[in-house]
Structure 1
Amino acid sequence: MLKNELNSVELFSGAGGLALGLAKSGFRHEMLVEFNRDAVDTLLKNHDEGQAQIKNWDIRHDDVHNISFKKFKGKLSVVAGGPPCQPFSLGGKHKAFTDNRDMFPQAVRAVRESRPDSFIFENVKGLLRKNFSTYFEYIILQLTYPNITKTEMESWQDHLSRLEETHTKGTYRGLKYNVVFRLLNAADYGVPQKRERVFIVGFRNDLNIEWSFPKATHSQDALLWDQWVTGNYWERLNIPKTDRPILNQKQEQISARLQKKYGLFQPEEKPWLTVREAIQDLPSPKKKNEFNNHEFRDGAKSYPGHTGSAIDEPSKTLKAGDHGVPGGENMIRYNDDSIRYFTVREAARIQTFPDDYHISGVWSECMRQIGNAVPVTLAQVVANSVYLALAPNKSKHSDAA
């Protein structure tokens, strides 16, 4: 049974990971806005080639400052996006509100002008750093009361004080959202990558929607159980003994700990997915193949702190740095300690992009786009739970009409 599509708008779309996840969950994008030329090239190439999810999207190459969202007022089920994260990134310069790349004010404006039923915003773990805690509270309260705007002569600290006063008084009757946030690890939801990101979700107060973040479906314990208690992982993937890690004291201790914790019963979650599982059916990139973005890149080097992602674990967080891509996170480490760079297709698999989705640009630019993206599967899990919360409410309104 097909879902009824709910309308959405997305800001700061990047290569399209969050947008794809929403589309797979039943949301129809009325508009996508992205400023970066290379990311727009990726979106347009997939649009023009008729990629299943993206072929009907209205893609705008523009600065979000130039976009009015007033025409969408009362017409959207969700506003989504990943406001540029460099101001808060653990790998960046940590400028936060002093950084002109802080686009949260524009996210708040989009919510204020369009009055959507809900919003989904995603950002880096660094947003929760202790030294950003006051500004993070400011972000949450702006999203809670988007119509209480900062005046031209007002500092953000004074605006925060006004928002706090409104919030504690509890008598505000204007546009209000019930906002929650949580740090999610993508690996816990079926993404073959240890990637922690903050999701901020809000529902318009008058809808009276009860919602919580989806429960994790995968766990590290379940993977370790599969590998070091039952050995099912190696058998299931037909991995010869010569290609498996040599059993050592650490792994024996892991096995003993898990058996003490769970007894005869394995963990209820599914195992974390690994790099091997994500890419095992791809041909060697050294050979000519039919997969797009799957070309070998030479020159990978290993040194302390730059060791790559173990093939039988979820990958490290794929990153995009200000001064090029951190190579350690973008390499595979095999069990014999040999290494090589991920191809763009392999990195896209780790971010759970579909194989028919093309990433445009040279290798470093493609990896930057992928490193900035939201894993499609994680976006789909969160968006689907939001869709299920909104859909009954939409059905009531349709029946009343």
Structure 2
Amino acid sequence: MTSSDTTAPILESPYVLDLFAGPGGLDVAVEVLGWRSLGIEWDKDACETRYAAGLKTWHADVSEVRRKRFEKLPPDLNVLAGGPPCQTYSVAGNGAGRKALDKVEKLIHRLVAGAREEEIDEQLDRMGGDPRTALVLEPLRYAIKALTCPNRDGRPFDVIVLEQVPAVKALWNVYKAALETGLPREDGTRVRYKVAEVKTLQTEAYGVPQTRRRTILIARLDKYPAPPLPAPTHHTFNPHKPAQGGPEDHQTALPVDGTAAPLEPWVSMGEVLTSREPHFEIVSNYGSGGDPRKRGIRTHRQPSFTVTGKVSRNAVRRHPNGEPLDPDRLTIPEAGVLQTFPPDYPWDGGDRSQQVGNAVPPLFGMHVLAAALSRPLPPEEKLRESWGRLAPDSARYRELRTEGCEAPNACGPNCPEPEGQSSPDSSLPRTGASAKRSAK
């Protein structure tokens, strides 16, 4: 099974820089694809998980790295990926980002026009509001910074992959126009990209046992063929017709272009939570239809609700009589499996529910990255293989911590301040990668 038509693959040795890397969803996808990655992650808890999982990490502020340490990044990084924090843009957040979209759009135009970093920072300071809103600019600022970095000899990123909540689709379209217009070099020339249609995708259409919507931008340098979007491989889930397209519905359908293989049924929770008794249901912590008193229910025959930082609050009951089960909440490994992490993924640090909710589903990440680089997908079964945990006293663990924190057993001088890594309100659902100023 492939996620897109594979023409000639691009990049012999993909090396992904993952901004706002969270506990490792995109990096797990990179590992299974057989590539390399470096994640920049602000949150200490997520970094603890990443070290235990053996993922190359910088425990750092994305903005700080761009300003002060960009030249220390490996010069052969050639894929830029990022899912900036989404609370201020999410319909479940306070909406500050949505109100600021027009201001952020103007800043994108100024960046592409060649404005200096200091000018942009001054504008952001004058904007005020939630500082996380400005982080959506960081991928573009990284792409521009690469063109002036002596360590890279001005070499741009070959591929850019971004994901966010659907509310940011309009902003990703502004990004698309900016990348197609071209990023400015100091000599007045421009580096142009070909960008796929900005589109909101449903993760269950790619085999994830969870309904989740993400808006994707994929760009390639102009010298490459235009990038495709990942082709769906499974049916989408319709809550109004909950059996349609599922394992018990034998219908098949072709994607719009009619050229791919028939779609497979969407994947149910019962198919992946095999340690649970066969008949169960999940009662969402969130309301249904905008009414917080009406809790949505999904059964074992259906995909999960979107996994958020509140996933451990969802009740698990016997279906159909509603009796509590033991355990009566999803465990962290179970929530991870619904996100398509390996069953034994080594969740570590604190607030693990928030870590799981923040992550990009690795299987979805595989589809998007494979399409971006025109590569075939590895078998999905690889995500169900044992991942393992690095022992804290192992040489590899100490090596990762020393590189990531610049200290073998603790945070170093460039790590974010500890008091800034806890949020007074971690209740907002974060369906993307981690935030700079929010705990997990």
| TM class by smaller structure | 0.5 to 0.7
Q: Is the 8 A contact 2:333 2:344 kept in 1?
A: no
Q: Is the 8 A contact 1:26 1:387 kept in 2?
A: no
Partner of 1:379: 365
Whole-Å separation in 2 of the counterparts to 1:197 and 1:179: 17
Residue 199 (structure 2) aligned to one of 177, 182, 186: 182
Residue 118 (structure 1) aligned to one of 151, 159, 168: 159
Once the two structures are TM-superposed, the CA of residue 210 in structure 1 deviates from its matched residue by: 2.5
Partner of 1:100: 131
Q: Is the 8 A contact 2:311 2:330 kept in 1?
A: no
Residue 272 (structure 2) aligned to one of 272, 278, 281: 278
Whole-Å separation in 1 of the counterparts to 2:375 and 2:276: 41
Partner of 2:107: none
Alignment of 1:228-247 (within 5 A): none
Q: Is the 8 A contact 1:189 1:218 kept in 2?
A: yes
Once the two structures are TM-superposed, the CA of residue 65 in structure 1 deviates from its matched residue by: 1.4
TM-score, reference length from structure 2: 0.60
Alignment of 1:294-309 (within 5 A): 304-309=293-298
Once the two structures are TM-superposed, the CA of residue 173 in structure 1 deviates from its matched residue by: 4.9
What SS class does the counterpart of residue 174 from structure 2 fall into?
helix
Letter in 1 for 2:356: I
What SS class does the counterpart of residue 379 from structure 1 fall into?
helix
Does residue 147 of the first structure (1) align with residue 188 of the second (2)? Answer: no
Letter in 2 for 1:314: P
Partner of 1:359: 347
Partner of 1:42: 49
Once the two structures are TM-superposed, the CA of residue 82 in structure 1 deviates from its matched residue by: 1.1
What does the per-residue CA deviation read over 1:254-285, in whole Å, with 9 as the maximum and x for residues that have no partner?
xxxx79x9xxxxx92111001101111x267x
Once the two structures are TM-superposed, the CA of residue 301 in structure 1 deviates from its matched residue by: 11
Whole-Å separation in 1 of the counterparts to 2:49 and 2:224: 38
Q: Decide which moves more: 76-85 or 193-202.
A: 76-85
Q: Percent identity?
A: 25
Q: Is the 8 A contact 2:193 2:220 kept in 1?
A: yes
Whole-Å separation in 2 of the counterparts to 1:315 and 1:386: 27
Whole-Å separation in 1 of the counterparts to 2:307 and 2:31: 23
Q: Is the 8 A contact 1:308 1:332 kept in 2?
A: no
Alignment of 1:322-337 (within 5 A): 325=310, 330-332=314-316, 334-337=318-321
Does residue 16 of the first structure (1) align with residue 28 of the second (2)? Answer: no
Q: Is the 8 A contact 2:235 2:246 kept in 1?
A: no
Partner of 1:199: 216
What does the per-residue CA deviation read over 1:35-91, in whole Å, with 9 as the maximum and x for residues that have no partner?
0111111111222xxxxxx3xx2x111111121434569733311121111121111
Whole-Å separation in 1 of the counterparts to 2:286 and 2:91: 23
What does the per-residue CA deviation read over 1:103-132, in whole Å, with 9 as the maximum and x for residues that have no partner?
12211111122311001111112223xxxx
Does residue 6 of the first structure (1) align with residue 14 of the second (2)? Answer: yes
Once the two structures are TM-superposed, the CA of residue 383 in structure 1 deviates from its matched residue by: 0.8
Q: Is the 8 A contact 1:125 1:183 kept in 2?
A: yes
Whole-Å separation in 2 of the counterparts to 1:11 and 1:384: 18
Q: Decide which moves more: 75-84 or 335-344.
A: 335-344
Once the two structures are TM-superposed, the CA of residue 319 in structure 1 deviates from its matched residue by: 1.6
Whole-Å separation in 2 of the counterparts to 1:88 and 1:14: 18
Whole-Å separation in 2 of the counterparts to 1:146 and 1:273: 41
Partner of 1:33: 40
Which residues of structure 2 form unaligned runs of 5+?
1-10, 101-128, 147-155, 255-260, 278-284, 377-440
Residue 316 (structure 1) aligned to one of 294, 305, 309: 305
Once the two structures are TM-superposed, the CA of residue 374 in structure 1 deviates from its matched residue by: 0.6
Whole-Å separation in 2 of the counterparts to 1:341 and 1:60: 33
* Structure 1 residues 225 and 199, CA gap change in structure 2 (3 angstroms): closer
Letter in 2 for 1:224: Q
Alignment of 1:252-267 (within 5 A): none
Q: Is the 8 A contact 1:42 1:360 kept in 2?
A: yes
Q: Is the 8 A contact 2:44 2:349 kept in 1?
A: no
TM-score, reference length from structure 1: 0.65
What SS class does the counterpart of residue 41 from structure 1 fall into?
helix
What does the per-residue CA deviation read over 1:218-243, in whole Å, with 9 as the maximum and x for residues that have no partner?
0147963665556xxxxxxxxxxxxx
Alignment of 1:125-164 (within 5 A): 125-128=166-169, 133=170, 135-144=171-180, 147-148=183-184
What does the per-residue CA deviation read over 1:192-215, in whole Å, with 9 as the maximum and x for residues that have no partner?
00111111111111x232321121
* Structure 1 residues 191 and 227, CA gap change in structure 2 (3 angstroms): closer
Partner of 2:83: 82
What SS class does the counterpart of residue 296 from structure 2 fall into?
coil
Whole-Å separation in 1 of the counterparts to 2:84 and 2:243: 33
Whole-Å separation in 1 of the counterparts to 2:71 and 2:182: 14
Residue 60 (structure 2) aligned to one of 59, 62, 68: 62
Whole-Å separation in 2 of the counterparts to 1:41 and 1:319: 20
Letter in 2 for 1:277: E
Q: Is the 8 A contact 2:205 2:234 kept in 1?
A: yes
What SS class does the counterpart of residue 190 from structure 2 fall into?
coil
Does residue 344 of the first structure (1) align with residue 385 of the second (2)? Answer: no
Q: Is the 8 A contact 1:189 1:378 kept in 2?
A: yes
